[in-house]
Amino acid sequence: MQSTRPDILAAGLFATIGGIVVAGSRGLEPGTLMRMGPGYLPTTVGILVLALAAVLGLRAALARPTDEDRVDWRLGPIAAILAALGAFALLIDPIGLVGATMALIAAARFADRPLRPGETLVLMLAGAAFSALVFVHLLQLPIALWPA
Amino acid sequence: MAGLEEIAGHLGLGLSVALTPGNVLYCFLGALLGTLIGVLPGLGPATTIAMLLPVTFHLSPIGGLIMLAGIYYGAQYGGSITSILVNIPGESSSVITCLDGHAMTRQGRSGAALATAALGSFFAGCVATLLVALFAPPLTDLVQLFGAAEYFALMALGLVAAIVLAQGSVLKALLMILLGLMLGFVGTDVNSGAHRLTFGLEGLADGIGFIPLAMGVFGIAEIAVHLERMQGGAAPAAAITRLWPTRQDFRQAWPAVLRGTGVGSLLGILPGGGAILGSFAAYTLEKRLARDPSRFGQGAIEGVAAPESANNAAAQTSFIPLLTLGIPSNGVMALMVGAMMIHGITPGPTVIDQQPELFWGIIASMWVANLILVVINLPLVGVWARLTRVPYRILFPAVLLFCAIGAYSYAHSVFDVVLTMVFGLMGYVLLKLRCEPAPLLLAFVLGPMMEESLRRALLIGRGDPTVFVTRPLSAAILAVAALLLVVTILPAVRGLRQTAFRED
Amino acid sequence: MPLVSQLCRAAAALLALAGLSASPVHAQAYPTKPITLIVPFPAGGTTDVLARIFAERMSADLGQRVVVDNRGTAGGTSAAAFVARSAPDGYTLFISNVSTHALAPNLYKNLSYDTLTAFAPVSLMTTSAGVLIAHPSLKAADARELAALVKANPGKFNYASPGNGTGGHLGMERFRTLAGLDMVHVPFNGSGPARNAVLAGEPPVMFENIQTVLSPAQAGKLKVLGVAADKRSSKLPDVPTMAEQGFAVTVSSWTAFFVPAATPKPIIDRLHASALVALKNEDTQRRLADLSTESVGSSPAELAAFVKAEYDTWGGIIRAQGLKIDN
């Protein structure tokens, strides 16, 4: 896969977030030194981040790239994990804990190969039973088990 | 400080209350339940206590509070187990334990890490309990020396110390701290009530929760990277070589336990960031004192022993402001206040005189709870450690499930699950770009307190920034912070210049 | 033998945890499933403590568990919004206080519900007096001396509050206006940290609930300058009210039960009866006394009138001060 220098990417990421914070604080009262408004520190810290990110990026751009700089991106696992959490978030309120748990486990298992469908099914059932028993029955969390 | 005989009398009275068979049973049940629930990722001590609080209402006041103390210590130790085994901190004070604790797990030394955490916590608990009994009333006055300027100085020192945690680039650690500060800005501003950086999302009005952030940047990111390593053909977690710490482990750990206990006991008294500052001040101290600081983050046993001792010591001494002034020093203590009030006790300076049995009973029960905890958990170390033998393809969906339920159940909020996703992605990318998440999380916790005290100090000082250096205690703390900053950054700046010259 | 009874109680506690505790079965149709009691604040605060005391007694009376659900965000407004859009079937009960029903609606401009029409009143449960507290080193023994001291040193004094737009903040603003004082407001994040600061003397004064200050006041770590209620407190008989000292400031905090507006009357009546049973319970009374909280137990109509009056009073103060939270 592609190889990029991590520090340049990191500098870009920090600069983006710093920029968002500076822009997002524009509507906030900066205030005075005695009465600092809500915008005073976010703006200050955001600008500091932009400056330091520039230093980080420049330093990386000037340095000679080495083999250690290679970043291996394997997006499969993280994508499956995020999809699993997303499925849980989407389903927990409409269909309850049992369905959301099964969906999470099914999606998460795509993060690993081979897929082993039989084992996944067992895990889905076991996970649903465990979460229903422990969280709803024993700990009495007010979470619906089934669709209302 | 009271006379020794008087103290012995007080502790005797306390023990006579705490050691009745019924109270020992409550303490045992509390510690066991606390451990079992606290070990679930995403359920930290605050959530565990909130869940189990109603159980204690059926008991007598002293029985209820003793059970609650058991739950508290149990949940805290349960959270340490999660930090060590799956790299998910249950509360801010166990963030540090993840660093070397989880590194030890990857080396097949999870048993040693768990046993060290249990024994270190027990030792720290014993010492700190004694300190509470000896010094509670005079230590109260320490709290009163701390005004807004002093808190600001302390938080600034904490942030500087967070840079020391970094193993790699100082510049990146600094950026991670600033990123943590920026995440801490999100939410409703305490002073003005204005919504900051919420981008119109109601779910952000109360700020970003610690649980989604910690689970995201530590837990989710770690799972993804672990799965990648497996697919890359790397060996899974090393087999467990031996369950117990070796003699060399003990030799390395015990001075760290001693220092951690001292640091944690002292910082625990301060309301606010006591436990978290304690745990990583202890870690920073060990890293600075170590002959070979590069071992830290790679499974150094001192890196588990020191913060675990410190956070448990702080957990005991944080009862001092509660019992003597009625001030809850953190969210868990606020729950304790609620529990006491339900039992008809309003914590405050008169409790010690009006209800000595209760006061000394609670203090004695701290020690009993620590003892019971170590008795329960040492045999369990083997069980927990064997959990890492469960194939990862079965373990990780379960961990992910607990993260999702933990995020959701804290405030019944789907939004918090979505936040966990967002921070999981962010943590993953940052990890890939070799930015370490610990400084970010510490800055996130300390930042809001620092901003509050900064603005308060300037408000009280009518905008005069010299208040921070004209008040002796504040000036002294800031001087330490400046010194630490210089000795940490100097080598990095030199390195930067060398890089620049090499390019010429 | 105590051990046996303690073992039994431990077993009962465990059973309750497992949700297996035997509860008497009532003949009535309502309630047939657990009732959720929404508490608009985090666990551990005064409102939460009271909610849990009532929930325990009401569970016994109703034959169904009353489950406390803490949803503490945005001054309680998000919890109130949740209740306002819940089904009016009697399974969502709301315990609210001065902040959610009188302060926030006057401070927050963009609420998704109308406080006075979105909820049906059940009962005013408790009231509790606020008191003006000061660090012992402050050279003032009562509110009048404080006013004189601040007047002699304009701009020199600060006061603490549990946050912007809280009763403690607005009450002090009212006092400041009535007495013509120049003081700087120093907001804190909750009453615990604010009280802590007053105990340390920086800032030296604030309004706080009576129950949390009695113990430090008895120990001489705080002094009480005035009671911000209609009458003196039985716990502090020697301390005059603010009104006696010439400043008409009341900062009482109260708790009341509400349900979503369209809830049928028979269900409201059932909940009202149950709330009164819970309130009149001997153990509840003892606990309220320990908390220096007065029990009220009003009718729904009385609560409606009370809330309207509180809403208007605080609304007037908030508008007079020009305070608002623009979100």
Say whether residue B190 is in contact with chain C using an 8 A CB cutoff. yes
The residues, ordered by sequence, that sit 6+ positions from B49 with a Cβ below 8 Å of its Cβ are B34, B68, B71, B72, B75, B332, B335, B336
pLDDT tens string C173-212: 999 989 999 999 998 877 777 888 898 888 999 999 888 8
Which burial class, exposed, middle or buried, applies to B42 when counting CB atoms under 10 A from its CB (0-12, 13-18, 19+)?
buried
Those of residues 124-163 in B touching chain C at CB distance below 8 A are 143-148
All partners of chain C with 3 or more CB pairs under 8 angstroms:
A, B
Instruction: Report pLDDT for A16.
Output: 96
Residue A95 lies in domain: 75-138
Q: Name which of B50, B346, B351 is nearest C211 (Cβ-Cβ).
A: B346
Judge contact between C80 and C113, C-beta under 8 A.
Answer: yes
Report yes or no on A63 lying in a domain. Answer: yes
Which range among A89-103, C61-75, C244-258 shows the weakest confidence by mean pLDDT? C61-75
Q: Is the pLDDT of residue C19 over 70?
A: no
Tokens found for residue B440: 């970010």
The CA distance from B321 to B328, in Å, is 7
pLDDT score of B504: 39
CB distance from A59 to chain C under 8 Å?
no
Which residue shows structure tokens 């907001």?
C187
Query: What pLDDT is recorded for position A1?
Result: 35
In which element (H, E) is residue B188 found?
A: strand B187-188
Amino acid at B417: V
Say how many domains are in chain A.
2
- Average pLDDT over chain A reads 89
Pick from A45, A69, A70, A125 the residue to mutate for testing the B interface (most B CBs within 10 Å): A45
Strand order in the sheet with C223-228: C183-187, C157-161, C205-209, C130-134, C223-228
Q: Model confidence at C49, in pLDDT bands (50, 70, 90)?
A: confident
B271: contact with C, CB 8 A cutoff: yes
Last residue in a domain, options A24, A47, A69: A69
Q: What is the mean pLDDT of residues C266-283?
A: 94
Domain pair C15-128+253-321 / C130-245, same fold = yes
| Residue A144 located in a structural domain | no
Residues of C in contact with A142 (CB under 8 A): 36, 67, 69
Give C254's contacts (C-beta < 8 A, 6+ positions apart).
C97, C98, C124, C125, C126, C127, C128, C296, C306, C310
- Touching subunits of B (3+ CB pairs, under 8 Å) are A, C
Residue A86 lies in a domain: yes
CA distance A77 to chain B (A): 5
Instruction: Please answer whether residues B377 and B35 qualify as being in contact, where contact means their C-beta atoms are separated by less than 8 angstroms.
Output: yes
| Predicted local distance difference test score (pLDDT) of residue C135 | 94
Q: Where are the domains of chain C?
A: 15-128+253-321, 130-245
**pLDDT score for C201:** 87
From A36's Cα to the closest Cα of chain C, the distance in A is 12
* Closest Cβ–Cβ partner in B59, B144, B190 for C9: B59
Is A81 in the same domain as A50? no
A21 close to A39: Cβ distance less than 8 angstroms: no
ipTM score of complex: 0.94
**Residue C21 confidence class, pLDDT cut points 50, 70, 90:** very low
Chain B residue numbers with beta carbons less than 8 Å from the beta carbon of A85 are 220, 400, 403-404, 417-418, 420-421, 424
Least confident span in B118-122, B482-486, C49-53, C107-111: C107-111
Report the range of poorest mean pLDDT among B469-483, B485-499, C272-286, C292-306. Answer: B485-499
Residue of B79 and A49 predicted with greater confidence? A49
**Cα B357 from Cα B20, distance rounded (Å):** 13
**In a domain? residue A45:** yes
Give the pairing of strands C253-260 and C223-228.
Answer: unpaired
Task: Write out residues 333-352 of B within 8 Å (CB-CB) of C.
Answer: 334-339, 341-342, 344-351
Q: Are B469 and B144 in contact (CB under 8 A)?
A: no
At residue C155's C-alpha, the angle toward residues C149 and C160, to 5°, is 80
Residues C294-300 have a mean pLDDT of 92
Identify the pLDDT of residue B135.
77
Chain C residues touching residue B57 (CB < 8 angstroms): 52, 56
User: How confident is the model at residue C18, as a pLDDT?
Assistant: 46
CB contact under 8 A, A45 and B185: yes
Q: Which residue of C has its CA nearest to B343?
A: C287
* CATH architecture of the domain with range C130-245: 3-Layer(aba) Sandwich (3.40)
**Domain presence at residue A147:** no
Q: Residue C228, class by beta-carbon neighbours within 10 Å (0-12 exposed, 13-18 middle, 19+ buried)?
A: buried
Residues A57 and A80 placed together within one structural domain of the fold: no
Q: What is chain B's pLDDT, residue by residue, as a tens digit (504 residues)?
A: 456 787 788 888 888 888 888 889 999 999 998 898 888 877 777 777 777 776 776 778 788 888 888 888 888 889 899 999 888 887 777 888 998 999 998 888 889 999 999 999 999 999 998 888 887 767 666 667 788 898 899 888 888 878 876 667 889 999 999 999 999 999 888 777 788 998 888 788 778 988 889 888 988 988 898 888 877 665 555 566 667 888 888 889 999 999 999 999 888 877 666 677 888 789 988 988 888 888 888 889 999 999 999 989 988 888 887 777 666 666 677 777 777 776 767 677 767 777 788 888 888 888 888 899 999 888 888 888 888 778 888 889 998 998 999 888 877 789 999 999 999 999 999 989 989 888 898 889 888 889 989 999 999 999 899 999 999 999 998 998 898 888 877 776 666 555 544 443
What's the mean pLDDT in C145-154?
95
The CATH superfamily of C15-128+253-321 is Bordetella uptake gene, domain 1 (3.40.190.150)
Same domain, A89 and A130: yes
Last residue of a domain, one of A69, A96, A113: A69
Q: C17 vs A137: CB contact, 8 Å cut-off?
A: no
Q: For C69, which of A137, A138, A142 is closest by C-beta distance?
A: A142
Looking at the domain assignment, is residue A97 inside a domain? yes
Cross-strand partners of C187:
C161
Which of the 8 DSSP states describes residue C138?
S
Across A105-114, B126-135, C218-227, least confident range? B126-135
Does B194 contact A84 at a Cβ distance shorter than 8 Å? Answer: no
CB contact under 8 A, B393 and A112: yes
Nearest CA in chain A to B455: A36
Contacts of A142 in chain B (CB under 8 A): 412
- Count helices and strands (H / E) in chain B: 22, 2
pLDDT at C91 over 50: yes
How high is the pLDDT of residue A62?
85
Residue A140 near chain C (CB below 8 Å): yes
For residue C22, the model assigns a pLDDT of 39
Final residue belonging to a domain, choices A22, A49, A69: A69
Beta partners for C36?
A: C67, C92
> Is C39 in contact with C72 (CB distance < 8 Å)?
yes
Per-residue confidence (pLDDT) for residue A12, from 0 to 100 = 94
